[in-house]
Amino acid sequence: MRRLGIFAIALTLAALLQTAACFAGGLEIVNSYPHDGGTGLQPVNCAVKLYFNQDVSAQKNIEANRACFEILGPERKAQPIQVYYDPKDTSMVLVALENVLESDSEYTLVISGEFEATSGDTLENDVTLSFRTRNQKTDTSISMVMMAVMFVGIIFFSSRQMKKQTQKNERESGKERVNPYKESKKTGKSVESIVEKTERERRKKEEARKRALQRSAQEDEEEEEEEDNGNKKVKGPRPISAGGSTYKSGKKAKAEAKAKAEAARAAAARAAGTTKPKNKSGKAKSKKK
């Protein structure tokens, strides 16, 4: 029993010591944005976030604590500010500047030691945080350089695309240009031979193109033409073979066979030296008598 009593007293003393240690630290700023000595803060809509180690959102302290913040600009000139509290994060205070700050300039936030937390603890000593705004001239110069690079890139790629399209059109039309000097250096042939070869190929392509156009025009003339009333007509009668058919009717086959037989007999007669049969009749036979 005696040992248990001593153990309970020891635990109580340890708990009391830890509680005393917690309250001995008092109110402190544990974090901030920007940090002390920070740079690159935007001059527009600038604000400083302060994070404390205790609840500082008590309504009874807000009015008194408002006077505990001050931001000094160049030449130690006080800047107009507004102080805001976050109901979701009771340990955070936002100090916002109302005006646009000067570019590439240093500003200092001063928090009075009288700033009081909900628990009644105060900072006791003044706290200062310094920060520097961005150099807008440098930002503008960088932006202008980036815009110039982008503009040059757009022109370059547009010109390249147009050149490729022109070369494609020339190839399709048979008018592709050849640099004889570049080709001569590449192949080792004379400039004259390259020019002559290029001209021959050009003429050949041009003739092929003209023939294709003529064939196309001829086919168009032979195709059916549609009148305004919706009926169709053709230039003239066309055999069924013109449509690709190889069918022959019985009469046509007999006529072709007869024509071939007559043509064979006529050819045999011509080879024999006469175009009439041996048994003559009529006037020719009576003359011989």
Residues 6 or more apart whose CB falls under 8 angstroms from that of 86 comprise 57, 92, 94
Task: State the Cα–Cα distance between residues 253 and 162, nearest whole angstrom.
Answer: 62
Name the more confident of 274 and 124: 124
Inside any domain, residue 120: yes
* Pair 120, 89 in one domain: yes
Inside any domain, residue 209: yes
CATH code at position 53: 2.60.40.1220
* Pair 29, 119 in one domain: yes
* Pair 34, 85 in one domain: yes
Amino acid found at 104: D
User: Structural domain of residue 155, as residue ranges?
Assistant: 144-177
Inside any domain, residue 242: no
Task: State the Cα–Cα distance between residues 32 and 192, nearest whole angstrom.
Answer: 80
What is the pLDDT of the chain when averaged over all its residues? 77
Q: Is the pLDDT of residue 132 over 60?
A: yes
Predicted local distance difference test score (pLDDT) of residue 29: 93
Task: State the Cα–Cα distance between residues 123 and 162, nearest whole angstrom.
Answer: 70
* Pair 109, 56 in one domain: yes
Predicted local distance difference test score (pLDDT) of residue 23: 43
Last residue of a domain, one of 217, 240, 273: 217
* Pair 30, 116 in one domain: yes
Inside any domain, residue 34: yes
Predicted local distance difference test score (pLDDT) of residue 242: 58
pTM of this prediction? 0.45
Q: Give me the mean pLDDT over the 269-275 stretch.
A: 68
Which of 107, 109, 60, 121 shows the shortest CA–CA distance to 85?
Answer: 60
Rg of the chain, C-alpha, whole Å: 54
* Pair 125, 71 in one domain: yes
Predicted local distance difference test score (pLDDT) of residue 4: 55
Predicted local distance difference test score (pLDDT) of residue 232: 56
* Pair 29, 129 in one domain: yes
Inside any domain, residue 264: no
Predicted local distance difference test score (pLDDT) of residue 21: 39
Predicted local distance difference test score (pLDDT) of residue 22: 43
What confidence tens digit (pLDDT) does each residue in 202-259 have?
788 888 888 888 887 777 666 555 444 555 555 556 665 555 555 555 676 777 888 8
* Pair 123, 155 in one domain: no
Name the more confident of 33 and 227: 33
Phi–psi pair at 175, nearest 5 degrees: -120, 35
Residues 6 or more apart whose CB falls under 8 angstroms from that of 57 comprise 85, 86, 87, 90, 91, 118
* Pair 123, 168 in one domain: no
Which of 208, 209, 184 shows the shortest CA–CA distance to 194?
Answer: 184
Predicted local distance difference test score (pLDDT) of residue 262: 87
CA-CA-CA-CA torsion sign (160, 166, 168, 170): negative
Predicted local distance difference test score (pLDDT) of residue 285: 47
Inside any domain, residue 11: no
* Pair 44, 114 in one domain: yes
CA 124 to chain centre: 59
Name the more confident of 137 and 56: 56
Q: Please report, in angstroms and rounded to a whole number, the separation of the first and last CA atoms in the chain.
A: 180
Inside any domain, residue 244: no
pLDDT class of 11 with cuts at 50, 70, 90:
low
Beta strands 38-41; 127-133: pairing state: parallel
Inside any domain, residue 212: yes
Could you give the number of structural domains in the chain? 3
* Pair 39, 114 in one domain: yes
Q: Is the pLDDT of residue 263 over 60?
A: yes
* Pair 110, 169 in one domain: no
Highest mean pLDDT among 1-15, 53-67, 270-284: 53-67
- Of the CA atoms within 13 Å of residue 199, those in its CB half-sphere come to 6
